[in-house]
Structure 1
Amino acid sequence: MDFGLWENYYKQILDDFGFERKDDEKTAQVLDDILFDEGCLTLEDLYEKINFSNRFIIFGAGPSLKKHIKKIKEEYDLTKYVLVSADGATTALIEEKIIPDIIATDLDGKIDDILYANTMGANLVIHGHGNNLEAILKYTPFFDNVLGTTQSQAHGNLYNFGGFTDGDRAMFLAIALGAKELILAGMDFGDRVTKYSRPNIENETAKADDIKLKKLEYAEAFTSWIAENKDVKIINLKL
């Protein structure tokens, strides 16, 4: 999604959630500065790392995730797919002894698991926004093989492929990397959250709060936009 089109959605998101663009831009600049100092991946670098396939599996952190991981392990040859986890879904994959090729994260999942996956070869796509400045400062320097993204104007070392939540941003990233098939696992867009997306909840799942529900609505809308506007086959395992 080019920025001119994305900016229309972005302005709506800012209004709907009461976010400040200047806060997104501040965090983006901090992330860009860290990546300049520490080194980072370009999109071309990432493509070279994963160009063994144009078929991607995107793992979201919805209630169906573990069921879908089991199905995928039994029915799919994972060596033929690029595996992309959306932040907290990384923990579920590690529990099943799977290391994703890419983790799309704004660093609110379990950092220890994301760090472990990174040391085992996972590439990170770290997203900076107005609410994660502290996490960007604290954790980004500890990771290797990082590509940076922003939801405001791309600049410096940062990209903006489109998308709002970790899951739909992972889908837009996959398209930027040449995906022709997207299999969606754990992408439920329902009214429940899991311990993988909200590590502090007491039970395995809990009812999503109003903000999370609104985010899931955007994620579903962007998934539909991709299906309608991009030359990519989408298989949602929830259906």
Structure 2
Amino acid sequence: MYYNWDNWYKIILDDFSFKEEDDIESAKYLNENVSKYDVSHIDFKNQCIIFGAGPSIKKHIRYLKSNVNLKEYTLIAADGTTKALLEESIFPDIIVTDLDGDMDSILKSNKSGSILYVHAHGDNIDKLRKYLDKLEKVVPTCQCKSFDKLENYGGFTDGDRAVHIAIYALNVKKIILAGMDFGNIITHYSRPEIGVEIKEADEFKKKKLYYAEKLINLLKKENLQIEFINLSDSI
């Protein structure tokens, strides 16, 4: 549990006019309809690469394939970025998802062994109802107060929640961020419904990206013992 999350959660609820009771309803559904996967037996690497769905993602994946031994890292995909990885014949170890990315890719990767950290929030209970019984190896997460099977490691978007999970669940010592651009451009990996490869984000998405960047920057300041590398700043 990331205990500082409570304050940010209240700020986000207010800023987006979200209702906590909607988050709780979705969390209850997830809790009641999931068999929690035990990850305690898995020897995760102490360094990870987190793949976001920014416009630099394919360039970063190809750079990493050529310059890094991916087997030395736990590979974590933020939701729809799974599709970009599969296109490069990479199956992530973990997918952090609220189930609004390309579900064919997420299901394929899950069947091949990817662990899913599946998130419940007020806007995705319909996705939980549609896909939950098709999923394996699920660790259920929420953004409201956690209970029973649910975990709350902190985090708002799939991308920054992946960083929270890497720090507070996996206890990594090094994090490489790939495809984490935090600009005003979104890709079809993030929003499959846009129908084009890239597009300017709407105001709602821009605000989400603002919070994602802010939360990740705070995590960097609060965890100086962890080495952070954002490829968007270096290549």
Local SS of the residue matching 1:235: strand
SS at match of 2:39: helix
Cα distance in structure 2, aligned partners of 1:63 and 1:78: 21
Distance in 1, matches of 2:195 and 2:115, equals 30
> Hey, what does 1:178 align to over in structure 2?
171
Are 2:54 and 1:55 equivalent residues in the alignment?
Answer: no
| SS of 1:67 mapped into structure 2 | helix
Count of matched residue positions in the alignment of Structure 1 and Structure 2: 231
- Within-5 A mapping of 1:82-97: 82-97=74-89
Q: Percent identity?
A: 47
1:191 to 160, 163, 184: 184
- Counterpart-to-counterpart distance in 1, 2:190 and 2:42: 27
Residue 202 of structure 1, CA deviation: 2.7
How far off is 1:225 after superposition? 0.7
Deviation above 4 Å: which 4+ runs of structure 1? Answer: none
Gaps of 5+ in 1: none
Letter in 1 for 2:22: D
After superposition, the C-alpha distances for 1:24-43 in whole angstroms (9 at most, x for unaligned) are 000000000011xxx222xx
**Where do 1:26-45 residues align within 5 Å?**
26-35=25-34, 39-41=35-37, 45=38
Query: What amino acid is aligned across from residue 118 of structure 2 in structure 1?
Result: I
Deviations 1:149-197 (A, max 9, x none): 0000011110000110000000010112111100000000000000000
Q: Which whole-Å CA distance do the structure 2 matches of 1:14 and 1:203 have between them? A: 31
Query: Do structure 1's residue 7 and structure 2's residue 3 form an aligned pair?
Result: no
Q: Distance in 2 between matches of 1:214 and 1:50?
A: 36
Q: Equivalent residue for 1:216?
A: 209
Q: Secondary structure at the match of 2:130?
A: helix
Structure 1 length normalisation: TM-score? Answer: 0.95
TM-score normalised by L of structure 2:
0.96
Of 177, 187, 207, 2:200 maps to 207
Structure 2 unaligned regions, length at least 5:
none
Q: For 1:113 and 1:67, locate their aligned partners in 2 and report how far apart those are by CA, in whole Å.
A: 19
Quote the offset at 1:204 in angstroms: 1.1
Q: What is the letter of the counterpart of residue 2 of structure 1? A: Y
The 5-angstrom pairing of residues 74-153 of structure 1 reads: 74-153=66-145
Aligned to 1:159, which of 147, 151, 155? 151
Taking the aligned partners of 1:226 and 1:50, their CA distance within structure 2 comes to 24
RMSD: 1.0
Q: Is the 8 A contact 1:50 1:82 kept in 2?
A: no
Q: State the distance in 2 between where 1:56 and 1:116 align.
A: 22
Retained in 2: the 8 A contact 1:85–1:103? Answer: yes
Matches of 2:204 and 2:40, distance apart in 1:
34
- In the TM superposition, what is the alpha-carbon distance from 1:47 to its structure 2 partner? 4.5
